[in-house]
Amino acid sequence: MRPAGRRARFAIVGTATVALAALGGFAGWAALSTDASTASAARESRLSEAYGKARFAVAKLELAVREDQLEPTPANHRHVTAAIASLRGTLPAIARSGAGRDRALAVQLRAQVDATELGLRRLMRASEGFNLVAAKRVNAQQVEPRLDLIESEVNGAAAAHHAGLAAGLSSARRSQGVALGATLVMLVLGLLLTAAVVAVLRFKRRLDDARRAEIERLRAAATRDSLTGLANHRAFHERLDRLVAEGSAFSLAIVDLDGLKRTNDTFGHQAGDELLTCLARGLVSVSPEGSAHRIGGDEFALVLEGATAIDAFGVAQDLRRLVAGATTGIGERAADEDKHGLIRRADLALISAKRSHREVLVYSPDMELVPGLDMPPDERHMSTLATALARAVDAKDSYTRSHCETVAELCVLIAGELGLDSDRVARIRLAGLLHDVGKIGISDAILQKPAPLTPDEAAVMRTHPDLGAHIVSAAELYEEAEWILHHHERLDGHGYPDGLGGNEVPLESRIIMVADAFEAMTSDRPYRPRRPVDEALAELDRHAGTQFDPTCVVALRRVLRPVAAPGTAALTAAA
């Protein structure tokens, strides 16, 4: 609203307030005036009643005197005496209810009544002695003049107070009318003032809402990326600072959009922006609310509170199925680690994923061997070839999707928990990635059969470790080939292909077996749905010591350790 409009509203409210205050004062005066008029009318009413009684007593006395003159008997004498006493009894009420003039009149009337009483006694004695001349003289000189004076004074005072009563009642009615009118006007003004206050409060609320919206817009502008709508680089670091300060357990996934510059150069920046927004939508759809950030031109980050590295790996795998052309590096925060260390480890995982053409990698210590240096050509070639072979296996068996890559990352995490050195961790990642490469030689009819295999089909399927070992040996990866050959051996000696038992089975093979079994149980298969993580771990526990190495199972459980944070169970299940 414009300033002039606000001033007009404030002027209206101010004027109504002043008018209301004035009317309130006037109503108070009218109420006091009404009270005074009512009190005066009540006093006049009492005096009028007292004077009325006095008039009646005077009339009664005059009548008793006439009757006594006509017939001076003892009975009539008593009537006269009683009438004088009755007249005298009305005077205290006049003195009590009246003002100073009435009290003076009451004293004067008492004196006249006393004098009249003396005259009446002389008149009654003269009448009793039949002295008519004396009786007439006493009556004419001492009785009638005083009775006339008493009557005149009482009648005059009674008339005056009657008029005062009428005036008081009229004044009280006028005051009541004024008070009623003022009350009605106050009511109207009060309603107007209330409406004005409500309007001002609504305006203030709208102003506050607009101010809050503007503050929220500015805050969002400061912490949101304008293109994708995700939280920006500043919000990313603020969130990491908060989680580290709270000592929270969480994982960080850094996602890089591949080929953005090429897209911008070839098709224009609008096409590049569309790729960025598509990746942002994918990140939002696969991760908990508020976990996605855009931290650079083509770099994004997921801050997954309460999630382990394998949880974050599952989220990244879900992202792969929605968005192509993105590479992800994952790091899980270690105890007492600051944000810079975690970002560095996730960046190393991202760099390693790009070098090996892997779309998702979890940080492992072997990545520290070559910080800032490129891989030798033969290692780069081997890593790229291994990735291609793993994807070929997963593509051949459409139900396993990213089985080989998931097993490889689980192997790395288990090996890290068991304390294997960085070189062995790197090699077991490769072996885990290629553990099922022998399935390339198994027919699709057996691999994709939506039912349990027959004994003959199962025998064919059991040849894949040997086939895989031969393929890997051809690349001169002899130790990795041996681990792959024995990853279906059991501790109790009932495995295949050689029936090894106990420590005869290489530790790396035992690690691959646990990771392979866990991933298989927690993934959908054509002949059964996935099992919950807790059930899969319980199944591993039941067969620990016979089929599975107990130390590897315990290490896997530590890798999948539960953390007290919302959404963790769902993330772990996705892994």
Question: Is 372 within a domain?
Answer: no
Please report, for the domain that includes residue 254, its CATH number. Answer: 3.30.70.270
- CA trace torsion 37, 42, 44, 48 (10° rounding): 150
HSE, CB side, 13 Å, CA atoms: give it for residue 429.
26
Distance from CA of residue 500 to its chain's centroid? 63
User: How far apart are the C-alpha atoms of 92 and 71, rounded to whole Å?
Assistant: 32
User: How far apart are the C-alpha atoms of 220 and 324, rounded to whole Å?
Assistant: 29
Q: Are residues 196 and 280 in the same domain?
A: no
Last residue of a domain, one of 363, 395, 415: 363
User: How far apart are the C-alpha atoms of 458 and 477, rounded to whole Å?
Assistant: 27
Q: Are residues 329 and 383 in the same domain?
A: no
Question: Is 438 within a domain?
Answer: yes
DSSP category for residue 333: P
**So what's the pLDDT on residue 469?**
93
Longest dimension (CA), the chain: 177
Laid out side by side, the sheet with 360-362 consists of 292-294, 299-305, 250-257, 326-332, 360-362
Q: Are residues 115 and 257 in the same domain?
A: no
User: How far apart are the C-alpha atoms of 343 and 338, rounded to whole Å?
Assistant: 9
Instruction: For the chain, report the end-to-end CA distance as a whole number of angstroms.
Output: 56
The CA R_g of the chain, rounded to the nearest whole Å, is 57
The residue length of the chain stands at 575
Last residue of a domain, one of 363, 389, 406: 363
Q: 419 by DSSP, 3-state: which? A: coil
Do residues 571 and 307 lie in contact, with contact meaning Cβ atoms separated by under 8 Å?
A: yes
**So what's the pLDDT on residue 136?**
72
- The β-bridge partners of 327 are 256
Question: Is 368 within a domain?
Answer: no
**So what's the pLDDT on residue 571?**
36
Q: Are residues 234 and 144 in the same domain?
A: no
Question: Is 466 within a domain?
Answer: yes
pTM exceeding 0.85: no
Last residue of a domain, one of 323, 341, 363: 363
Please report, for the domain that includes residue 151, its CATH number. Answer: 1.20.1420
- What is the number of helices (H) and of strands (E) in the chain? 21, 5
Do residues 48 and 165 lie in contact, with contact meaning Cβ atoms separated by under 8 Å?
A: yes
Q: 427 by DSSP, 3-state: which? A: helix
- Residue appearing with tokens 């944070």: 565
Q: 121 by DSSP, 3-state: which? A: helix
Q: Which of 319, 364, 252 lies closest to 574 in space, CA to CA? A: 319
Q: Are residues 252 and 288 in the same domain?
A: yes
User: How far apart are the C-alpha atoms of 173 and 165, rounded to whole Å?
Assistant: 12
Name the residue range of residue 291's domain: 224-363
Q: Are residues 202 and 260 in the same domain?
A: no
User: How far apart are the C-alpha atoms of 214 and 211, rounded to whole Å?
Assistant: 5
Q: Are residues 504 and 537 in the same domain?
A: yes
User: How far apart are the C-alpha atoms of 458 and 463, rounded to whole Å?
Assistant: 9
- Residue appearing with tokens 């990735």: 387
What's the token pair of residue 197? 């206050």
Q: 252 by DSSP, 3-state: which? A: strand
User: How far apart are the C-alpha atoms of 244 and 223, rounded to whole Å?
Assistant: 19
Q: Are residues 432 and 555 in the same domain?
A: yes
Residues 6+ away with beta carbon under 8 Å from 519: 403, 406, 407, 410
Q: Are residues 230 and 209 in the same domain?
A: no
Question: Is 370 within a domain?
Answer: no
Please report, for the domain that includes residue 394, its CATH number. Answer: 1.10.3210.10
**So what's the pLDDT on residue 189?**
72
Residues 6+ away with beta carbon under 8 Å from 82: 64
Please state the domain count of the chain: 3
Do residues 250 and 306 lie in contact, with contact meaning Cβ atoms separated by under 8 Å?
A: yes
Q: Are residues 350 and 433 in the same domain?
A: no
Region for residue 130 given its phi and psi (left: phi exceeds 0; alpha: psi -120 to 50; beta: otherwise): left
Q: Are residues 172 and 25 in the same domain?
A: yes
Question: Is 420 within a domain?
Answer: yes
Q: Are residues 383 and 356 in the same domain?
A: no
**So what's the pLDDT on residue 205?**
86
User: How far apart are the C-alpha atoms of 145 and 132, rounded to whole Å?
Assistant: 19
**So what's the pLDDT on residue 168?**
63
- Residue appearing with tokens 């001349």: 133
Q: What does pLDDT average to in each consecutive run of 10 residues of the chain (575 residues)?
A: 55 62 63 65 73 79 78 80 82 77 79 78 73 70 77 75 67 69 74 78 82 74 85 93 93 94 90 93 92 93 93 92 91 92 94 89 82 57 73 67 87 94 92 91 84 88 93 90 96 95 95 95 76 92 96 94 42 37
Question: Is 218 within a domain?
Answer: no
The amino acid at residue 454 is T
Question: Is 460 within a domain?
Answer: yes
